[in-house]
Amino acid sequence: MSSKKKSIPNVTKAGGLPESKGHRQAKVRMQRALEVAASTPASDIPVGAVIYAPDGTELATGVNRREHLADPTAHAEVEAIRAAVRALGDSWRLEHCELVVTLEPCAMCAGAAQAARIGSVVFGAWEPKTGACGSLVDVLRAPGALFVPEVRAGVSEAQCQELLRDFFQNLRTTPRK
């Protein structure tokens, strides 16, 4: 996982300046997403997502279960979005909610967040191969997009990368049954 940082307008970068209240909150929420990621099934790449209501209440969590369920759409973000909509129970909209996820969302997940009208997306590690929030493409801020959530990238990035590195290292050192 390389540390790829692009100068995209409304992406808030860490480092240099004193931490804003928003960044401190994002880091606290990312710790929760990391905790959630720890419950990813052993066969799946660990990714954790949490959705917060506008008042800061935790609405739902999700982990990557693609291998476990043999479902290509069972990414952490999609699972969390579905659960958050069920938790609210009145609409498909997650307006002014925040999606916090340990890895840069892919095109499907960024699209799902946009479709749910999520107000802001916070992610940890950049994903150079499939990331759709600035790495490979930028689904959330595509020109002419009807709805553009706020994006905060690279929050607790080192910790989020470490989680993935550990997983892939274990894959290499543990012989497959």
Catalytically active residues, by annotation: 77
Q: Which is nearer to Zn ion, 19 or 71 (CB)?
A: 71
User: 132 is written with which tokens?
Assistant: 């759709």
Q: How far is the CB of 55 from Zn ion (least distance, A)?
A: 27
Q: How far is the CB of 90 from Zn ion (least distance, A)?
A: 25
Nearest in space to 162 (alpha carbons), one of 38, 51, 67, 27:
38
Choose one: 9-17, 55-63, 75-83, 167-175; the region binding Zn ion (CB under 5 A): 75-83
85 binds Zn ion (CB under 5 A): no
Choose one: 14-22, 73-81, 155-163, 165-173; the region binding Zn ion (CB under 5 A): 73-81
The amino acid at 48: G
The three-class DSSP label of residue 161 is: helix
Q: How many residues contact Zn ion, by CB under 5 A? A: 4
Q: Which is nearer to Zn ion, 30 or 45 (CB)?
A: 45
- Would strands 98-103 and 48-52 be described as parallel, antiparallel, or unpaired? antiparallel
User: 21 is written with which tokens?
Assistant: 């209240």
Asked if residue 66 lies in contact with residue 75, where contact means CB atoms within 8 angstroms, the answer is: yes
Q: How far is the CB of 69 from Zn ion (least distance, A)?
A: 14
For Zn ion, the binding residues in 92-121 under the rule CB under 5 A are: 106, 108-109
User: 105 is written with which tokens?
Assistant: 């969302």
Q: Which is nearer to Zn ion, 25 or 140 (CB)?
A: 140
Q: What are phi and psi of 158, to 5 degrees?
A: -60, -45
Asked if residue 47 lies in contact with residue 102, where contact means CB atoms within 8 angstroms, the answer is: yes
Q: Classify burial at 27, counting beta carbons within 10 Å of its beta carbon; exposed 0-12, middle 13-18, buried 19 or more.
A: middle
Q: How far is the CB of 45 from Zn ion (least distance, A)?
A: 11
Task: Pick from 29, 65, 66, 75 the residue near Zn ion by CB under 5 A.
Answer: 75
Residues in contact with Zn ion by the rule CB under 5 A: 75, 106, 108-109
